[in-house]
Copies of this chain bind each other. A is one copy, B any other.
Amino acid sequence: MTPGPERFARARARMEETGVDALLLSVGPDLPYLTGYEAMPLERLTMFVLRPTGDPVLLVPRLEAPRVADRGHFTIETWDETDDPVARVAAMVGAPRRVAIGDHTWARFVLALQHALPGTEFGPANAVLAPMRAVKDAEEIAALERAGAAVDAIAAGLRATAFAGRREIDVHRDLVERMLAAGHERANFAIVAAGPNAASPHHEPGDRVIADGDLVLCDFGGTMDGYCSDITRMFCVGEPTTEVRDAYAVLAEAQEAGVRAATVGTPCEAVDAATRAVIDAAGYGDFFVHRTGHGIGTEAHEDPYVVSGNATPLVAGHAFSIEPGIYLPGRWGMRLEDIVVATEAGPHRCNHAPRDIAVVA
C-alpha cells in the first residue's frame, strides 16, 4: 500500500473508531505516510486536512506549492504571505467536536488552532495513525530491508578502515557521506563515541581523537525511499581487553535473546525483559540504562516501543530495534543493534553485518 487513497480510507475508518472529525497533519512522518508529501519544518504552516467525507486538502504556502507532486489524490490549496493559514484550516473543518493533530506539529500552530476552534477537543493523531503505521506490509518491510542492507554494507566496510588518529566528528561525517552515497535521501544521525564517551548513549560526536585501545561505538541511520535504517556496531582500535570481551559476550547474548523473544503474540515488555535478564544475570543490570528498542518505519523512532510497561503484543509486521547496551561511566560503553520484523514464521532480522567487535587500526 502506498501513500494515497487506500491509506486515506484506512485512516478514515480509524477516525470513525476513535471519534475524530478531522485529522490535521503538518511536519513529521504522518504526512508523508499518508500523502507522499513532506512539509518543510519552517514557520509557514503546511497542513493536510482529512475529514470523514469530501476531498482531502493539502494547504501549503504558495511558494512551496511547486514542490507538491499532484497525483490527483487530494486538493492542493495555497496561501499567500499575508493570508492567515490557521483561519483557512479552521474554516475548512467548521466546528468539529474532536480533531486529531499530528504529533510533531509545532506548539505555535497547535495553540493558534485551539484559539481558532475554541469548542473543539484536540487529541494526538498518533491515536489514529500509530497502529496503522506500526504494522508494515510486504512493500514496507522490503523498504526497511533495503535501507538495512545499505547500512550493513557501510558497517561491514568500516571494519577495513583506520580509526586511530581521526576525530569522532571525522568518522561521523564519513558515515553521513556513506549513507548518502549508498542511496539514503537523508542521514538522520551518526553517533560516533570513543573510549569513555561511549558511556553516553546519545553522545554528540566531537573533537576527541580516537586513540589506540579505544572501544568505539557507531550508531547510525537515515531515510531511504522513505523508510529508516538504524544499526549499531562496535569497533576497537587493537585488541579489546578481557573485561570488554567478556561484557560484549553478555551483550551479544542479550541481543540474541531479545531477537529470539520477538515472536508474534509476545508483549513488547517481555522482549525488553528478555534482554535485561541476560544483562542482569551478568551483574551489569545497573548499566543498561535504556529500553531495549523502538519501532521503526517512516520515522526513526515510532510504535511499538520495546520497553517495560508496554504490554502491546507483537503482531506480524511490527518492525523495531533490539539494542541492549552496557555503559560504564568514565570508562566505556557498548551497544549492539539490529532491526527486527515480527513475522508468523518468527523474528526476522533486517541487518546482517558481522556482529562481533571489529578490531581496527
Contacts and interface: CB of A to CB of B under 8 A. Distances in A.
A124 B107 contact: yes
Q: How large is the interface on A (under 10, 10 to 19, 20 to 34, 35 or more residues)?
A: 35 or more
A201 B122 contact: no
Contacts of A103: 106-108
Interface in A58-115: 62-64, 66-67, 80-82, 101-108, 110-111
Given A67-B203, A201-B63, A111 B123 contact: yes
18 contacts: A43-B301, A62-B289, A63-B201, A63-B289, A64-B201, A66-B200, A80-B289, A81-B290, A82-B307, A101-B111, A102-B107, A103-B107, A104-B106, A104-B107, A104-B108, A105-B107, A107-B125, A108-B124
Nearest to A305: B43
Closest CB pairs A-B (n = 4): A66-B200, A105-B107, A63-B201, A103-B108
Given A63-B290, A66-B201, 8 more contacts: A42-B301, A43-B301, A63-B200, A67-B204, A101-B111, A103-B106, A105-B106, A105-B107
A40 interface: yes
Interface of A: 40, 42-43, 62-64, 66-67, 80-82, 101-108, 110-111, 122-126, 173, 177, 180, 199-204, 289-291, 294, 300-302, 307-309, 329
Interface majority SS (helix, strand, loop, mixed), chain A: loop
A342 B89 CA distance: 36
A330 B222 CA distance: 33
A63 B122 CA distance: 31
A303 to B, nearest CB: 10
A211 to B, nearest CB: 20
Contacts of A200: 63, 66-67
Contacts of A43: 294, 301-302
Contacts of A203: 66-67
A341 B67 CA distance: 31
Contacts of A102: 107
A108 to B, nearest CB: 4
A31 to B, nearest CB: 13
Contacts of A291: 81
A206 to B, nearest CB: 10
A66 B287 CA distance: 14
A325 B301 CA distance: 38
A45 to B, nearest CB: 12
A115 to B, nearest CB: 10
A100 to B, nearest CB: 10
Contacts of A308: 81-82
A67 B308 CA distance: 24
Nearest to A300: B42
A302 B40 CA distance: 15
Given A106-B105, A199-B66, A301-B43, A82 B204 contact: no
